[in-house]
Structure 1
């Protein structure tokens, strides 16, 4: 397969559209190209500096080094990866802190109306917690983006201390995504010659023990793959990415999202979105900015999240500070744009359980001595 083998997509029947490895036809579509957004063009920036389609609104829910709403909790610096979890009639948004030595993660709890009711720490004194992943049993994996970094399992609703999970490997962790059908956790690695991993816990739901494997593939961009066990998940003295001959290299692994037989993950070094078909045991490109006709709408490819309707939302690290939308019919268009924050990056996109609210952060906010991360909420008629 050449680099133009892009974005095999389909629609699940019974009214629930979704990307699905199990339903891919085997025929390859053309590369995702710029097109009209299903929400229409972006309007002018609002009072928060965010350009949105008609019908959508934004608000600030937290700022670094300031109290969250009416709570006494001070929001962390450098907010990064995030996710939402149901909490009674409301929900919780968790966010990592990509700060050296004191990173960790925090949570904001919302009531059924979307009002902030509390905020609190769920992980402390860890190192450069970048992205992570939500687990089906209600925990958040917070990943350290350092050499021989750990994965920490945290508890978004509070009341339970975070637990280090060394069996998931020690490397420059970025993101994680759970595949409950095959009982594995996919893991990305933020190195210019990094790998793509999966962790097979001995017991599903218990991450204390299991087997770490790395994806093995030929030299081509797309095609069949296999998995090989990493002999020493501790990564010392030989880094995990160098332990298995034939392990496929990826240029700066970033976001990771699993849905309906496909694990989507991004690589920032070459501005790509990849699709691992867990059913067909193959890998393909879903987006590559060098294959776009004209000016690519998406650069600085970073965090990724999907919806039950099959849309992928991909955040930019830099670029022109957009979250772009890739639709199942292979259109890519900006969904929102933040102005006045060109030295920042967009992190942690996540939808509230009901799907009508999108949370994300600008990691560094505006430039200047008083700058700091800003966490936003966008509400509107997201398609289901």
Structure 2
């Protein structure tokens, strides 16, 4: 079962009905992605920024922790983590979390249509360990606290409106979020070894101030059908949200989350897996498992943040591993897309494409120093396939 159809549907607006029998195979699950040649070819030698890239791609550094962003007086935050891009007229904004225990929050870089940096600003302050998050269809950034009984904050990428804490989305060790405009819900991952996968159903779509938090229920296997059950006490006190519902499926260290074309993908770092929920069929399966790669060494380990491109490719950042961003194609091939050299004490965070799909932004959270003050945020430009 190829995933190209699923992903392209979100880009070209194809309805689920057009997929026909592909979506309705029920138990005919795909094999997890296998090692193979990537669509962009082999990685070249490290460039001046220490990045190994395929032919035709170039990199630049757009921000460094503790230093003023070029052309501005704004100091870029420490430990840059989850990120997303937002269209801004003919340009765009890249937002980035700060995963530090004091101050936390998130900042933003502003670009014009040529990719030149035109500004930088703060969009969230005085929060804790803001790890990943997610963009909403109404152009806000959900910044998630990766602490026990942490919050989700809804922020304005332009920095014009104050951030709002969204208590109804639950208090737990939040990681990432992904909005589903078809079902009008937001999916949420939990970074615990015995964590769960959630969805928040707002009372009114576009307003996250009230709604119902639900947890995914399923068996113990790696594929099957799933359901949703209401979490009785989203505030997680005195009982953690993950322990409130009998039958809630346990996932080992939830990380990145991405929605496209009636499917949602999320990663679990504890077992190096990428999970796929087919939301139309109501089934789940493994899109990738490093222990199930049968044709050579697994190229993707330390799975973390994930994003998708218009071609239907998934781009998955490593926390550790070989400091790579790997690609999983709709044809279930996994391969390295880029590698950062000389930064073994770091992790790759915040991959996100510019609105036109020609630029990929991401950070090395601790850079060459291995410290949160050494973060580096990059841009890679090149012939990404449409």
Please give the per-residue CA displacement for 1:262-302, whole angstroms capped at 9, x wherever unaligned: 01000000000000111111111100000002210000000
Q: 1:18 to 1:341 in 2, by over 3 A?
A: farther
Deviation, structure 1 residue 308: 1.9
Alpha-carbon offset, residue 101 of structure 1: 2.5
Partner residue of 1:349? 351
**Which residue number in structure 2 is paired with residue 140 of structure 1?**
141
Contact 1:19–1:328 (8 Å) recurs in 2: no
Matched residue SS, 2:330: coil
Alpha carbons of structure 1 residues 16 and 183: separation in structure 2 relative to 1, 3 Å: closer
Does the aligned pair in 2 maintain the 1:18–1:308 contact within 8 Å? no
Query: More helix per residue: 1 or 2?
Result: 2
Partner of 1:319: 321
Instruction: Give, in angstroms, the shift of residue 117 of structure 1.
Output: 0.6
- How many residue pairs get aligned? The number is 378
* Residue 9 of structure 1, aligned match among 3, 13, 31: 3
Deviations 1:325-376 (A, max 9, x none): 0001111110000000001000000000000000000000012679610000
CA RMSD for the aligned pairs? 1.9
Report Cα offsets for 1:195-245 as digits up to 9, x if no partner. 000000000000000000000001211100110000000000000000000
**Contact map agreement 1:19 1:310 (CA 8 A) in 2:** no
Once the 2 structures are TM-superposed, how far is the Cα of residue 11 of structure 1 from its aligned partner? 2.8
Shift of 1:17: 8.0
What is the aligned partner in structure 2 of residue 381 from structure 1? 383
Instruction: Report the counterpart of residue 97 of structure 2 in structure 1.
Output: 96
Q: Is the 8 A contact 1:20 1:261 kept in 2?
A: no
When residues 246 and 290 of structure 1 are mapped into structure 2, their CA distance, relative to the original with a 3 A threshold, is same
Structure 1 residues 19 and 79, CA, compared in 2 at 3 Å: closer, same or farther? farther
Deviations, residues 84-111 of structure 1 (Å, cap 9, x unaligned): 0001110000000000031000000001
> Taking structure 1 as reference, are residues 121 and 218 closer, same or farther at Cα in structure 2, changes over 3 Å only?
same
Q: How does 1:151-190 map to 2 (within 5 A)?
A: 151-190=152-191
Q: Cα gap change, 1:356/1:296 in structure 2, threshold over 3 Å: closer, same or farther?
A: same
Structure 2 equivalent of residue 4 of structure 1? none
Q: Which moved more, 1:360-369 or 1:268-277?
A: 360-369
1:222-301 maps to which residues of 2 (within 5 A)? 222-293=223-294, 294-301=296-303
Write the distance in 1 (CA, Å) between the matches of 2:372 and 2:239.
Answer: 42
Unaligned runs of 5+ in 2: none
Provide the C-alpha distance between the structure 2 equivalents of 1:58 and 1:283, rounded to a whole number of angstroms: 36
1:43 alignment partner in structure 2: 44
d(CA) in 2 for partners of 1:21 and 1:284?
19
Unaligned 5+ residue runs, structure 1?
Answer: 1-6
Q: Does 1:84 align with 2:111?
A: no
Give the conservation status (yes or no) of the 8 Å contact 2:366–2:372: no
2:218 maps to what in 1? 217
Deviations 1:142-178 (A, max 9, x none): 0000000000000001210000000000000000000
Alignment of 1:339 onto 2:352? no
Greater mean alpha carbon deviation, residues 309-318 or residues 20-29? 20-29
Moved more, 165-174 or 212-221: 212-221
Tell me if structure 2 keeps the 8 A contact 1:214–1:227: yes
Contact 2:345–2:370 (Cα < 8 Å) also in 1: no
Taking a change above 3 Å as real, the CA distance of residues 337 and 368 of structure 1, as seen in their structure-2 partners, is: closer
The change in CA–CA distance for 1:251 and 1:105 in structure 2 (over 3 A counts) is: same
Structure 1 residues 368 and 173, CA, compared in 2 at 3 Å: closer, same or farther?
closer
SS at match of 2:337: strand
